[in-house]
Structure 1
Amino acid sequence: MGKGFFSTLLMGVALLSAAAVVTADAPEDDDGLHPLRTHSIYMPYIDQDLQNRWFDFGGDTIINTNKHIRLTSDAPSQTGYLWSRLPITASNFQIDFEFKVEGKGDGLFGDGFGVWLTKERVEMGPVFGNRDNFEGLGIFFDTYANSRQAHSFPFVMAMLGDGRTSYDGAHDGLANKIGSCEVDFRGKTVPTKGRIIYHRESGRLILKTQTKAWDQWEDCFDLSDVKLPQLAYLGFTSVTGEVHDNHDIISVTTSTITKGNFAARKSNNNTPPPQKKTGVMWYLKFLAACGVFVALVMAFKMSKGNNDMKRF
């Protein structure tokens, strides 16, 4: 057998190795997230009618089409809101929201803002700008301590309202807390974000925050048996009193999650799960191997033919 055969053989082996590497490292086609346009909002936030098709805003909220939705400004006695017009009907979903809290106050500032998934919507009140006795979930990004606490501020906590229980504002929600963490999210130079993940069947509720570096997510809380209303509206509200800050919402991205990918998203670490070698990958490897085998057979026949001609 001639040099041509061995050259073809070496090329075939190289192609087979390359195909194996590519198929083994290929990522999944579907990451399990499907954007939900009805519950997402980005710059410039408003259309030609100075409204948004999917969200209502009001109170003291100011829209800066190039920067943010300012729920409250760095001034006393303000209340602002941003509410989805439609409820979230998906069973499993993820909400990523970028926000910014800052102001001129050095020692005294507040009060913070609330993120809501509730049966009611657009009802202003004393709980971070929303009504009291709400039904559903409230997550409070609190920057001001109303009483002496064992934890530091800023502080993030979640409350599950039943429509009858009041928020314990005098004690910063101590009696209502179902999950919490200390997060220094005020006045940061990096984009500050929150990520809510919910799985209705198990009642799994996860909150992650990004406050230290881009795409560096840290766990805040991971809860089970959290039952949200079947039809829950998404809202962002804020209130200021004698203490105040700018409370801005920069973007909201809501996505539905396929059930099979939820386990990976509830992981307690930030390392992506290893890619599994799916049936598609093995099929691609099989096709690559078949192609190389056919090439080797053809090369062998050509080489044999050339040798026969030489002997003739």
Structure 2
Amino acid sequence: MGVQAITTLEGVRQIPLRSHSLSAPYLDSDLQSRYFDFGEDTIVRADQYIRLTSDRQGQSGWLFSKMPMTATNWMIEVEFKIHGAGHLHGDGMAIWLTEERGKSGKVFGSADNFNGLGIFIDTYKNSRPGVSFPYVMAMLGNSSVSYDKDHDGKDTELAGCSARGIRGAGTVSTKIRMTYYAETSLRVDLQYKNVDEWTECFETEQIKLPQTAYLGFSAETGELSDNHDIINVAAHNLHIRQNTSGRDKVGKPQARPYNPGGTKAPGSWRWFFLKIILFGVVVVGGYVGYTMYRASKRGSRF
């Protein structure tokens, strides 16, 4: 069966990406996935879900694509379910587009100090006054910036929104849809209130992802727990016809990767060197003035 292009937006063709999509039964006849690897506590229920963590304490699991995302512009829609027994639950799950793949760690079950995009569905509030949880947020990492779990990633947040009701949504299929136009914008929409009712979480501009980025999912539990299930992943390449897309951001500044605390802007360096030069001028001027003063004092003795 061939892959067919589907046109749903004016000037934009949605071409399915089989290499980054998932649906039941998930595994082939050898009980392996052709396009994804999984590890740690992840289990596969071929007729229902891929469970990253079960509703047990101290679990973590991950699921990562074997091939990097090659599409320049893409849309990824993920159906998932976060649920469990009891009134207290945690910690949450993450969706990744990063250079790293299949590495366990402390950031929702995956590695910290990542390079690329992480979108976190955080179900347990550590320290974010005035913010309602569950909370969905994006972070762009540059391999050197850590995610601050104690403060729920507040200092490194790119954008986010509260999504109260996304956990344990009952009969409504919970979904997240991410739409990326290279170096232009990233938009995240959520479905959890009613079927086919999408709520915009955020849209931000000037986003640049690594050239080699793998699609991944991870989750973790601590003292509190939940089931974190991936049910379906539908990835599409967005092919934009020239001169027809409203997304053509002509005249926008060049996109930059997120780099908090990293290299300073060129203007900052110019100001730094200018201050050094001015300091040198002051020192030289003071020395010349002092020399002339001493010379004049010696001349006044005769």
Which TM-score applies when normalising by structure 2? 0.76
Aligned to 1:200: 182
Aligned ranges 1:1-312 → 2 under 5 Å: 32-106=13-87, 108-184=88-164, 185-189=166-170, 190-202=172-184, 204-260=185-241, 263=246
- Where 1:237 maps in the other structure, the secondary structure is strand
Q: Percent identity?
A: 49
Aligned to 1:11: none
Amino acid at match of 2:118: G
Asked if structure 2 preserves the Cα contact closer than 8 Å seen for 1:44 and 1:66, the reply is yes
- Where 1:69 maps in the other structure, the secondary structure is strand
CA separation in 2, counterparts of 1:181 and 1:30? 29
Distance 1:262 1:77, change over 3 A: farther
Asked if structure 2 preserves the Cα contact closer than 8 Å seen for 1:105 and 1:245, the reply is no
- Where 2:34 maps in the other structure, the secondary structure is coil
Asked if structure 1 preserves the Cα contact closer than 8 Å seen for 2:91 and 2:226, the reply is yes
How many residue pairs end up in the alignment?
238
- Where 2:155 maps in the other structure, the secondary structure is coil
CA separation in 2, counterparts of 1:97 and 1:112? 15
CA separation in 1, counterparts of 2:9 and 2:21? 25
Distance 1:47 1:153, change over 3 A: same
Could you give the per-residue CA deviations for residues 225-260 of structure 1, whole angstroms, max 9, x where no partner exists? 111001110000001110000000000000000124
- Where 2:47 maps in the other structure, the secondary structure is coil
Amino acid at match of 1:78: Q
Unaligned 5+ segments in structure 2 are 1-7, 248-302
- Larger Rg over CA atoms: 1
- Where 2:19 maps in the other structure, the secondary structure is helix
Q: Where do 4+ consecutive residues of structure 1 move more than 4 Å?
A: 27-31
Could you give the per-residue CA deviations for residues 206-230 of structure 1, whole angstroms, max 9, x where no partner exists? 0000001111111001011111001
Amino acid at match of 2:93: F
Structure with the largest fraction of helix: 1
CA separation in 1, counterparts of 2:45 and 2:218? 17
Distance 1:28 1:232, change over 3 A: closer
Unaligned 5+ segments in structure 1 are 1-26, 265-312
CA separation in 2, counterparts of 1:211 and 1:82? 23
Aligned to 2:288: none
